[in-house]
A and B are shown apart, each in its own frame.
Chain A
Amino acid sequence: MIEVDQLSKRFGPVTAVDGLSFAVRPGHVTGFLGPNGAGKSTTMRLILGLDHPNTGTATIGGKRYRDLVEPLRVVGALLEAKAVHTGRSAYNHLLVLAQTQGLPRKRVDEVIDLVGLRDVADKRVGGFSLGMGQRLGLAAALLGDPRVLVLDEPVNGLDPEGIVWVRNLMKYLAGQGRTVFVSSHLMNEMAVTAEQLIVIGRGRLIADCATDEFIARSSQRSVLVKSPDAARLTELITAEGGLVKANNGQALTVGGLPAPRIGELAAREGLVLHELTPQLASLEEAFMELTRDSVEYDSRTSQPAATKIQASPTEGTR
């Protein structure tokens, strides 16, 4: 269980994390999403005690990371930036870490086999590919058999086989009742891996809910309308408060109005419709939509950048 409470971190004039609160529960994979610069890595570094927060707390099982006595036995972390001395072999890197926690050499061999680095265990890390580096980072994270895993972009640089492997590994570990907190910029990857999502933008919480719910909530955002009277229909939709996002001759992509309402408008005016299709957003689109909203909102007004969406399935007014 990871708990983040009112966490803030400023770097000079830039607020990287801004009053962030959420909890990551054991037993399933929790995805941590946000555009570049949203503060994902900083949040993870704050949880891991590498950075000091300006305000707020981050705890793991009720303790701050720095108060953990043998931290690698409790929390396994994979950081986005490399955290390996390039002149050392993979085996010696893991041995250095194992020795700090009193873990036996046998365990180093186990994690090397686990991540499939046996053939290169004695090679210097400096020559490793991105994918091999990620595997070594995962081996380091799993070294102490931790109950909590904090993984920053773990599939970065992995080949398709490796991506499937990491995905299954995370699900397997979560299935054992561990807490798995994983950041990614690959939304579709999260759609098939994470059951829970925490979405942030500009250091603030945008959404904290189940992945299914996150997609469902955003799924009827737009409607594809095809009509020979597209110009007239556009006027009607705009007058009704809808937004025509794209106009491709006779095909309109409409936001802000549900499909039934558009159909009613057309019927009232006697306009012919060739197609009226609610567009199901992928997680990727849902995510873009949400974060774009937060950015636009912020630039037009002085109000808070992100409007937090409550985790409720009935979302009518927004």
Chain B
Amino acid sequence: MSTVTPAPPAPVALASAPVRFGRLLLSEWTKIRSVRSTVASLGLLVVLTLGFTALLTWLTVSQWSRADPSQQRQLMADPVSTILSSGFQLSQLTICVLGVLVITSEYATGMIRASLLAVPHRVPMLAAKSVVFAVLVFVVGELVAFPSFFIGAAILHGRAPVSLGDPGVLRAVIGSGLYLAVLGLFALAIGGLVRHTAAGITGVIGFVLVLAPLAQLLPGSFGKHVHAYLPSEAGHLIAQAHQGPHDLLTPWQGFGVFCLWTAAALGAAAYLLQRRDA
């Protein structure tokens, strides 16, 4: 340790912009996979969601005779929605927390300074982080969605048979992964805006869980519209086989609304990331 000679790496020509963005994707992937809690949370999400889906659909079947006819009709009209939404309860919360943490943990630990020293233009870092996290959540979301569907469909088989070939069902199953991916991005954007873990998680949960029931209390058609266009309410329509009788938006319209919300939040996060002192 007494004599130190930093061996100079061979001089390298400056890489092109796409190559540099590729490096950022690799770096962000290393960031995510090298923090144990993230990996553990995603693993737990898969196991618990499958468990919950099985439990809730089984409860539905076992209570079948006691459910009122309108509930039975609703379930038989769109069984895939029932199967997938029982798992959402848990997985969407996990994704909200992870999405916020992916960025606020950098602020909390000071890592953000190292990140921005490496990428002084800043926005490419946010873009790479968003892409990596969204793809990861999408993959995990599908790893949950397909087994959930098959487990749920098997349990419901006697009451409300459903198969992947039915209209809209495959789209709904894939869509549930899409919904989680965009939800993750939405949470990441909120985390980037507020930069504090607790505030970020509170904000996202507020949007996803608190605002929707509140909006339902608003009177008349106004309340109905506000409710329908809220991010998570609009977004999760993609996980239904078809538009329900009370839905204002079609599945793809709803998902589009959710994407617009997310794009706006990410845009605001990128703008503030540029402007603020780190």
Binding site for B on A (CB under 8 A): 45, 48-52, 65-73, 75, 77, 79, 81-89, 92-93, 95-97, 99-104, 107, 110-111, 114, 116, 140, 142, 144-145, 165, 168-169, 172-173
Chain B residues, CB < 8 A from A99: 23, 26-27, 30
Contact A84 B15 (CB under 8 A): no
A-B CB contact pairs (8 Å), 16 listed: A48-B117, A49-B117, A51-B277, A71-B120, A83-B113, A83-B114, A85-B105, A92-B34, A100-B27, A101-B23, A107-B9, A111-B6, A145-B6, A145-B7, A165-B2, A172-B4
Question: How far is it, in angstroms, between the C-alpha of A256 and the C-alpha of B37 when the chains are bound?
Answer: 64
Nearest 3 A/B pairs, CB to CB: A92-B34, A99-B27, A83-B113
Question: How far is it, in angstroms, between the C-alpha of A135 and the C-alpha of B148 when the chains are bound?
Answer: 48
Interface size on B, residues (CB 8 A): 39
Contact B23 A100 (CB under 8 A): yes
Chain A residues, CB < 8 A from B35: 85, 87-88
- Find the B residue at minimum CB distance from A11: B277
Query: If the complex has contacts A71-B117, A79-B113, A100-B119, are A92 and B30 also in contact, measured as CB distance less than 8 A?
Result: yes
Residue of A45, A71, A82, A99 contacting most chain B CB atoms (<10 Å): A99
Question: How far is it, in angstroms, between the C-alpha of A243 and the C-alpha of B117 when the chains are bound?
Answer: 49
Contact B31 A116 (CB under 8 A): no
Task: Give the A-B contact count at a CB cut-off of 8 A.
Answer: 116
- Find the A residue at minimum CB distance from B121: A66
* Shortest Cβ distance from residue B278 to the other chain A in the assembled complex, whole angstroms: 5
Q: Which of B99-145 contact A (CB under 8 A)?
A: 105-106, 109-114, 116-121
Question: How far is it, in angstroms, between the C-alpha of A172 and the C-alpha of B6 when the chains are bound?
Answer: 10
* Shortest Cβ distance from residue A106 to the other chain B in the assembled complex, whole angstroms: 8
Contact A84 B114 (CB under 8 A): yes
A50 touches which of B7, B20, B117 (Cβ 8 Å): B117
Question: How far is it, in angstroms, between the C-alpha of A216 and the C-alpha of B224 when the chains are bound?
Answer: 80
Contact B111 A83 (CB under 8 A): yes
* Shortest Cβ distance from residue B40 to the other chain A in the assembled complex, whole angstroms: 11
Question: How far is it, in angstroms, between the C-alpha of A92 and the C-alpha of B27 when the chains are bound?
Answer: 10
- Find the A residue at minimum CB distance from B14: A69
Question: How far is it, in angstroms, between the C-alpha of A70 and the C-alpha of B120 when the chains are bound?
Answer: 9
A102 touches which of B15, B105, B117, B275 (Cβ 8 Å): B15
- Find the A residue at minimum CB distance from B27: A99
Cβ of B1 under 8 Å from chain A: yes
- Find the B residue at minimum CB distance from A49: B120
Binding site for A on B (CB under 8 A): 1-2, 4, 6-9, 12, 14-15, 19-20, 23-24, 26-27, 30-31, 34-37, 105-106, 109-114, 116-121, 275, 277-278
Question: How far is it, in angstroms, between the C-alpha of A165 and the C-alpha of B3 when the chains are bound?
Answer: 9
Contact B19 A82 (CB under 8 A): no
Question: How far is it, in angstroms, between the C-alpha of A83 and the C-alpha of B110 when the chains are bound?
Answer: 4
- Find the B residue at minimum CB distance from A161: B1
- Find the B residue at minimum CB distance from A51: B277
Chain B residues, CB < 8 A from A68: 120
- Find the B residue at minimum CB distance from A107: B9
Query: If the complex has contacts A77-B117, A97-B118, A111-B6, are A89 and B34 also in contact, measured as CB distance less than 8 A?
Result: yes
- Find the B residue at minimum CB distance from A68: B120
Question: How far is it, in angstroms, between the C-alpha of A82 and the C-alpha of B116 when the chains are bound?
Answer: 14
Chain A residues, CB < 8 A from B23: 99-102
Contact B37 A87 (CB under 8 A): yes
Chain B residues, CB < 8 A from A144: 9
* Shortest Cβ distance from residue A158 to the other chain B in the assembled complex, whole angstroms: 12
* Shortest Cβ distance from residue A225 to the other chain B in the assembled complex, whole angstroms: 47
Residue of B6, B23, B31, B109 contacting most chain A CB atoms (<10 Å): B6
B34 touches which of A48, A67, A96, A168 (Cβ 8 Å): A96
Contact B9 A173 (CB under 8 A): no
Question: How far is it, in angstroms, between the C-alpha of A66 and the C-alpha of B278 when the chains are bound?
Answer: 13
Chain B residues, CB < 8 A from A142: 6
Contact B6 A50 (CB under 8 A): no
Chain B residues, CB < 8 A from A96: 27, 30-31, 34
